[in-house]
Structure formats: C-alpha cells, structure tokens
Amino acid sequence: MICQTVAETIGEMIDNKFAELIEENKIIKDDMQIYKDEVSEKLLGYEQKLDNMEQYSQRKNIRVFGIHENEKEDTFKVFTDFSKNILKVNLVEDDITRCRRVGEMPKTKQRPILIKFKTPKKRLNVLKEKKKLRGTKIAICEDLTKKRVQKLMDAENKYGIKHTYLCCISNGVKMYEGNMKDKPLEARNN
C-alpha cells in the first residue's frame, strides 16, 4: 500500500513535470516562431534594399543582344559603329566608361555587349532609339539585376511576351501585366 502510494505520488510528480516541460517547450516554440518571422521579414527587407542598390549601380548600363561577335574584336568600336549607323546616335569614347562582351562563349549564340555610360542621359538617348531595331534580331534593354530579370521572365512565361509590358524608368523596371487597354496612358505612348 505504501509502495503504491509512493508510486502514485512519483507518477503524479513526473506527469506534472512533463506538463510543465511541454508548456515551456510550447512557449519556446512560439517565441522562436515570432523571432523567425521577424528575421525573415528583416531579411526580405535587406534583400530588397540590396537589389535596389545593385540596380542603382547599374542605372547607367544597357545590354545589347544579337550583334555578331568576331574573334579579337574591338567591342567599343563595334558598339559605337552600330550606334552611329543603325541607331543614329553618335557616341565618343568619353561617353562610355566600359564596353565588353559578357558571359561564356556560346557555340551558337552571340554574347551580349554590356555598355556602361558615363551619364544616364547618354544611356537614355540610346534606349530611346531602340525602336529602330523592330524586325531585327538585335535587342537593347536595361541591365537588370538577376532578381528583376527573373521576375520579368516569370511574367513572360505566365502571360506571354505580348502581354508583358515594360516601362523604362531610371533605376530598374516597372512591369504592366495584362492587355494594352489596361496599361497606363504614358506607357501606351512609348
């Protein structure tokens, strides 16, 4: 009888201790989830700030796709000749900080040319004339961050390239998804 009472008392103590531990564990898990959510939110904010800073650093850049590549070419001369003859934009060496091919040498495609202008104004002059390339296999676009390129590709895959519209802005891309009638007036006129 005494043994049974002692066993019951010890059993109750163990049950109470387990209940306390379970409650403490639940409180700790809840606190950890709150901290995890806060850290995730801050991380997303930092990632967005980093993407914005990266895009800002690329605000003077453009990429040109589809220009034939030759071995040992002078990329600066290739681009300035293209700009002068096709786009009718005269550029001199002082207008451009850097001009080079980027990416690995593919077997079938041409590598894009990355051009960094000294001023955003010169870059905008070239971007304004890209409409002259319609119907060709050459394309000019802003130099976007990987994250923004991925967003653009996702929108193109979801809605089709004809229903994904871009409005060039000074530091990145603003996407319009939907039909032409859904686009703001200023985007329709560009």
Per-residue pLDDT reduced to its tens digit, 132-183: 998 899 999 989 889 988 888 887 787 776 655 554 444 454 544 454 445 5
Written as one letter, the residue type at 117 is F
Does residue 90 register a pLDDT over 70?
A: yes
Contact 127, 168 (CB under 8 A): yes
What b/e string do you get for 134-147 counting C-beta neighbours within 10 Å, with b at 16 or more?
eeeebebbbbbbee
* CATH homologous superfamily, domain 59-143: L1 transposable element, RRM domain (3.30.70.1820)
Rg (CA), the chain: 29
Give CA–CA dist 40/57, Å, rounded: 25
pLDDT at residue 182 in the model: 53
Q: Are strands 164-169 and 113-117 parallel, antiparallel or unpaired?
A: unpaired
SS3 106: coil
Written as one letter, the residue type at 87 is L
φ and ψ at 141, to 5 degrees?
Answer: -145, 165
Written as one letter, the residue type at 162 is K
pLDDT in tens, 101-116: 998 877 777 899 999 9
Contact 65, 96 (CB under 8 A): no
Q: Are strands 139-142 and 164-169 parallel, antiparallel or unpaired?
A: unpaired
Domain range summary for the chain, segments of one domain joined by +: 1-57, 59-143, 145-190
Q: How large is the average pLDDT for residues 36-47?
A: 95
Beta strands in 48-149 (DSSP E): 61-65, 96-101, 113-117, 139-142
Token pair listed for 187: 């985007």
**To the nearest whole number, what is the mean pLDDT of the chain?**
83
φ and ψ at 42, to 5 degrees?
Answer: -65, -40
Phi-psi sector, 98: left (phi>0), alpha (psi -120 to 50), beta = beta
Q: How large is the average pLDDT for residues 10-27?
A: 89
